[in-house]
Amino acid sequence: MRLNRPHVASLDEVRITREGEYAVIQFADSRVATTNLKLGPEVPRMPDQQILDRFRCG
């Protein structure tokens, strides 16, 4: 069975918070799991769009 590609979210579809070296990406759609993305010590200085772009690139 072939899986569907995940939806690429935009900034208005997510809420991004920061916890240490992690960006926490919470989707407005509760059916999509929250993601904890480890990006390193630069997280507090990264704008939301940059975090979302890094998340998309996997």
Q: Is 35 helix (H, G, I), strand (E, B) or coil?
A: strand
- Rounded to whole angstroms, how far apart are CA atoms 39 and 36? 9
User: How many of the other CB atoms lie within 10 Å of CB of 40?
Assistant: 9
- Rounded to whole angstroms, how far apart are CA atoms 53 and 58? 9
pLDDT in tens, 19-58: 999 999 999 988 888 999 999 999 999 999 999 999 887 6
pTM (2 decimals)?
Answer: 0.82
Asked if residue 2 has pLDDT above 70, the reply is: no
The confidence band for 4, taking pLDDT boundaries of 50, 70 and 90, is low
